[in-house]
Amino acid sequence: MTNDTHIDTEQDEHLDDEFVSISQCHALAAQHFQEAAKQHGLAAEAYDAGNLYETHRRGYLAYRNQLLATQYAEMAAIDEDDEEFDDESPEGNAQ
């Protein structure tokens, strides 16, 4: 029981130390989606060359980057929902 509390406290401290802003979340999501696309391309090339090991390895890396990108995109969306938006914004007046 004490060990679980210690782990939870360490995780909370770790999260506080590495706060990521909404803009950082969007940027990181974009980087990971781009990396996923790159890895998919490399997986296709490896498959065409008959290298199944490299195909699977690149496919895994693509999948991993896609998951990370989706997590950052979700973090940005959740944080944006928490933000208070001004109804007087230029985007709101354009409608």
**Residue 20 pLDDT grade (very low, low, confident, very high; cuts 50, 70, 90):** confident
Place of tokens 């696309």: 37
Is 4 part of a structural domain of the chain? no
In a domain, 10, yes or no: no
Which pLDDT belongs to residue 5?
Answer: 52
Q: Which domain holds residue 38?
A: 20-82
Residue 71 inside a domain? The answer is yes
Predicted confidence band at 14 (pLDDT cuts at 50, 70, 90)?
Answer: very low
Residue 69 lies in a domain: yes
Alpha-helical segments (H) within 49-82: 52-82
- Residue 13 predicted with pLDDT over 50: no
Taking the whole predicted model, whether its pTM rises above 0.85 is answered as no
Domain assignment present for 11: no
Residue 8 lies in a domain: no
**Residue 87 maps to a domain:** no
Give the count of domains, the chain: 1
Q: What is the mean pLDDT of the chain?
A: 81
CB contact at 8 A, 20 and 79: no
**Residue 75 placed within a domain:** yes
Average pLDDT (17-44) is 92
